[in-house]
Structure 1
Amino acid sequence: MNTCDICKKNFTQKSKLVVHMRFHTGEKPFSCDQCEKYFSTNRDLTVHKRIHTGEKPYSCDQCEKTFRQSCDLTKHKRIHTGDKPYSCDQCEKTFRQSCDLTKHKRIHTGDKPYSCDQCEKTFRQSSDLTRHKRIHTGDKPYSCDQCGNSFTNSSSLTVHKRIHTGEKPFSCDQCEKTFKEGSNLTKHKRTHTGKKPYSCDQCEKSFSLNRDLTVHKRIHTGEKPFSCDQCEKTFRQSNELTNHKRIHHTGEKPYSCDQCGNTFATSSELTRHKRFHIGENPYSCDQCEKTFKSGWELAVHESIHTGEKPYSCELCDKHYISGLELSRHEKSPGHLEMIKSCNKVPPFVSISLIKCEEVYIKEEIKEEEIFDEDPLSIQMRADNIDPLSIEM
């Protein structure tokens, strides 16, 4: 028996032990004469050379795809047969390849053996580390042959090319919508199933997208990482900043209705507007079956069922279902009188409002000057709809 004196593995042949020892020593005696890459075995060099020659000697007898290695063909055939011979002993998930099972098990163990030497982030897969390092180096080795855009990984290039070809290979079996990416199809399916796998550990709200959970958590932390370079207002989401700039600074309205010519600052405003033409009400309440033209109208309505009023006044502790309602309360003469009497000026009130009675009663405060509007309120104001007018 031939035994490795470093890791104690046993080999039936001495030649196999010699090859194995190269993984410990890092020795790579076989070099490519075209690109100067080095390999620990002659077999790896042979497979590598096929990248240069384009040779793919192994072909599938069902779909005619070709491969450089026989093991790749074996793995591919399992797509046709549905064979998944590798199973997880903790959650019973099955996989076509043993390496996929190994990667999956790290979810249970929390093992992240690959670490970045620049920022100390760790990863479950070496490929994830390789892609991550390109953030530091700026390397984008995959370029589109049609428009010249370059990408850090091949999968991003593949998805990008579908913009040019119009290909949407992932289709929903319930509504026939198609998507460029499988991940988008997975997210879309949750609209049918109602599944919300991402939950907040502070308030138990759940979300269908991890991205939505990340944004939601900023309500608890108060984080607003996106700031306006013209007025220093900060926002929880980048699209809120974009919309803010169009509404308050640039006046840009790039989205126009093809039926009446009205223009809008955001695509969501245009989408909601079009529903007035066609009479569409795609958002329905799962408790009373009422329908609404927009998600925010549904959100306002649902507060009747839930009793939720997340916007509160700092002075009198009154609660409201939207930032717009809170704004109206804060502008009311009674509220301003309370500010004057208690000699306290919250951050949403202009100092000039309490200088004298004549000023603070007569002065009109613009909505954007007294509070950092939530997306719900921005949408209400854009459509010129009173939240109190929504059918409850």
Structure 2
Amino acid sequence: MEGESSSHSEDKLYTCSTCGSGFNQSTDMGRHKCNRNRESPCGQRGNTGNRFHYPSDQETNRFGHTGESPCGQCGDTGKGFCYPSDQEIHQCSHTGMSPFTCPLCEKRFTRFSNMLRHQQVHTGEKPFTCSQCGKGFTQSSHLLTHQRVHTGERPLTCCVCEKRFTESSALLRHKRVHTGERPFPCCVCGKGFAESSILLRHQQVHTGERPFSCSVCGKGFTQSSNLERHQRVHKQLHCSDSAAITAVNQIRG
């Protein structure tokens, strides 16, 4: 939030007097100031000790402990919600309604925040930058995962073999080694695969697609690794031809 809001503070309605960060809403600026001061003006949860900047945050936390759902329940699943907006978003999963549309490609989304994140695909914007190597990311969570490359941190552990991972998706894929789960079946032959990328590669067997072509002879391959291996043949032949030409020239000379 802080990194995003400070980039164009001159276009914002509210400005932090301490650091100059800009915000469109006064509540966002208030939350920002509390984060800087590490204060929690609106109370503390007695059971957990968590502190909150706003009454709404404290209420949300309380509902998590009491199970209360003051704003209604889903008629299909019985799931409760603290706020009407959360219930409306959840209902979209049942109705299939996606009220937010990307103006560039017309892709639809259930959440406005998801649409904004998607638009970075079109703009190329990567507002989250690694301080170590300068690589940019569209989401702060992606930056956090990337930074573990530099720190060597592997906070996620397999409960079966205790192998450690930097991200949850890698841990999930690894767990299938133990469970034997193959959640990605081929729609043509029914063969199952542990990863979607392996399924896509397999489907080329049925379609005959060979998306990787040699720029020298035009031969096609299903995998980039096979193309790289093939191109070494041309390189070796080129080196052999060059050596033969050199030898002939030396003899003539």
Q: TM-score, normalised by structure 2?
A: 0.65
Q: Is residue 112 from structure 1 mapped to residue 94 from structure 2 by the alignment?
A: no
Counterpart for residue 227 of structure 1: 213
Task: Judge conservation of contact 2:63–2:82 (CA < 8 Å) in 1.
Answer: no
Structure 2 match to 1:191: 177
Q: Which amino acid aligns with 2:123?
A: T
1:136 aligns with 2:118: no
Q: Compare CA radii of gyration and give the structure with the larger one.
A: 1
For residue 13 of structure 2, what is the amino acid of its counterpart? S
Structure 2 residues not aligned, in runs of 5+: 1-11, 237-253
Matching of residues 103-182 of structure 1 within 5 Å:
103=89, 105-182=91-168
Alignment partner, residue 32 of structure 1: 14
Please show how residues 3-82 of structure 1 align to structure 2 within 5 Å.
Answer: 31-33=13-15, 34-39=20-25, 42-50=26-34, 53=36, 55-57=38-40, 68-69=53-54, 71-72=56-57
SS in structure 2 opposite 1:190? helix
Summarize the Cα distance change of 1:227–1:54 in structure 2 as closer, same or farther, 3 Å threshold: farther
Aligned to 1:212: 198
Shift in Å, 1:64: 7.7
Match of 1:248 among 233, 241, 251: 233
Q: CA offsets, 1:136-190, max 9 Å, x none?
A: 2111110111222111111110000111111111111111111111121122112
Change (3 A) 1:108 1:189: farther
Q: CA RMSD in A?
A: 3.9
| Residue type of the alignment partner of 1:181 | E
- Partner Cα separation in structure 2 for residue 180 and residue 207 of structure 1: 23
Amino acid at match of 1:248: V
Counterpart CA distance in 1 for 2:235 and 2:92 is 49
1:132 partner letter: H
Cα distance in 2 for residues equivalent to 1:82 and 1:172: 32
Greater relative contact order, per chain length (Cα 8 Å cut-off, separation 6+): 2
Separation (CA, whole Å) in 2 of partners of 1:103 and 1:230: 53
Q: How has the CA–CA distance of structure 1 residues 164 and 36 changed in structure 2, closer, same or farther, with 3 Å as cutoff?
A: closer
Q: 1:167 to 1:220 in 2, by over 3 A?
A: same
Q: 2:48 & 2:217 partners in 1: Cα distance?
A: 59
Q: Secondary structure at the match of 1:117?
A: coil
C-alpha displacement of 1:195: 1.8
Moved more, 105-114 or 201-210: 105-114
Instruction: Name 1:284's counterpart in structure 2.
Output: none
Residue 100 to residue 239, structure 1, CA distance change in 2 (3 Å): farther
C-alpha distance in 2 between matches for 1:37 and 1:56: 19
Paired with 1:231 and 1:69, the residues of 2 have a C-alpha distance of: 66
Residues 170 and 185 of structure 1 are in contact (CA less than 8 Å); yes or no, is this contact kept in structure 2? yes
Question: Which residue number corresponds to residue 186 of structure 2?
Answer: 200
Contact kept in structure 2, 1:225 and 1:234, CA below 8 Å: yes
TM-score (norm 1): 0.44
Tell me: CA distance 1:215–1:126, structure 2 relative to 1, closer, same or farther (3 Å). Answer: farther
1:62: how far off? 8.5
